[in-house]
Chains A and B, each alone.
Chain A
């Protein structure tokens, strides 16, 4: 992609709709592929975004995925209106999950979502208010970054 080009995309996410869960991450992945980001970077971004999107589908009422993309940095926000996370430290622990049984039956709720996000993003910031919602901010160094 061009050195100067920066663009933004956004996708809405509906809570509890598992039939289209992951569409936002899939669309972001296609866009990132089209602008020619390296496949390994695209995979990390898509994977982290998918996990965050699924958290919205599993736990929240609705949300939005926003991304700002340049060759130096990819920023992804996943923000929801939902229950919030009472204990973020606990939620970051691998194996800890509050997903209900019908969600676990689909193969979700392994307590790996947030750890997967942290592992794949270069930086992750979680802002959450119980009873209002959660906002994830993830960044990924692009191919033209210095680091």
Chain B
């Protein structure tokens, strides 16, 4: 499954990286703890979080994640700038994380854990 099909199916708002939507997505991971993501999120997965600050971009970029999905939170301009500079896909949704996760699962996406 590629990012574009997910973005279109769930009508997510793309904030940065709309030229990178053809990349494949390996699964999904939800956490607001950065070390948890560093420990367990697999490359090319979607990371769903409501932590909206620049360290999220640093972690996602470091791991080579497929996209950061910010749910239900205000997004500072500096965060968007950082995502753009790192060539990272940043999308947002007004849905609650629980509902969004259910919809991603219904699309066929599964949790992706790296051990």
Contacts and interface: CB of A to CB of B under 8 A. Distances in A.
Tell whether A and B belong to one assembly: yes
Interface of A: 18-19, 21-23, 25-26, 29, 39, 43, 46-47, 50-51, 54, 106-108, 110-113, 115-116, 119
Chain A interface main SS type: helix
B38 A22 contact: no
Contacts of A39: 64
Given A18-B53, A51-B38, A110 B64 contact: no
A24 B51 CA distance: 22
Interface string B32-45: 11111011000100
Given A26-B61, A112-B35, A113-B35, 4 more contacts: A18-B55, A19-B54, A43-B62, A110-B33
A110 B55 contact: no
Interface of B: 32-36, 38-39, 43, 49, 51, 53-56, 58-59, 61-64, 78
Contacts of B59: 22, 50
A108 B78 CA distance: 19
